[in-house]
Structure 1
């Protein structure tokens, strides 16, 4: 096996292992702005400004990526958002 091919295989494996996921929050007609903002601060560790900006984007665009990271890091956060009655998914 050539060195170049071996290096490429190593790079491919590392890219797969470090794949980043994101929690996408979707708009709904149930939750208030304040509730969503406070939820993002609590669950996703957003600053108040960041949570407000995400909430506005969700409202006007229909969805917003609110947290990025490894799947195992995001799973409990997404589950918590769902348990609060928010509409979220990991993509």
Structure 2
């Protein structure tokens, strides 16, 4: 005897259609670890530990996603990162 199970799933349309973007910071030979960490804490509201981990990922992998949100919220943060001399973009 087999049991058939029907599963109904509700999906919040607003949630499903909201595309999150990411700020990606790239490695460079100009900025120090301290500058990157301080900038991530100030601009992206990272904890010092989180900013340090991101700076190490940037250094060893060449890039790191430092913030994920909707484009409108990321744009001013990305502008601040660029103004601080970091190589960043929204993807």
Report the TM-score, using the length of structure 1 for normalisation.
0.83
The aligned counterpart of 2:16 is: 15
Greater Rg, structure 1 or structure 2? 2
| 1:1-91 matches, cutoff 5 A | 11=13, 15-16=16-17, 18-91=18-91
Gaps of 5+ in 2: 1-10
How far off its partner does 1:44 sit?
0.2
Structure having the larger proportion of residues in helix? 1
> Cα deviations across residues 21-46 of structure 1 (Å, max 9, x unaligned)?
00000000000000000000000000
Gaps of 5+ in 1: 1-7
Report the TM-score, using the length of structure 2 for normalisation.
0.83
Aligned residues: 82
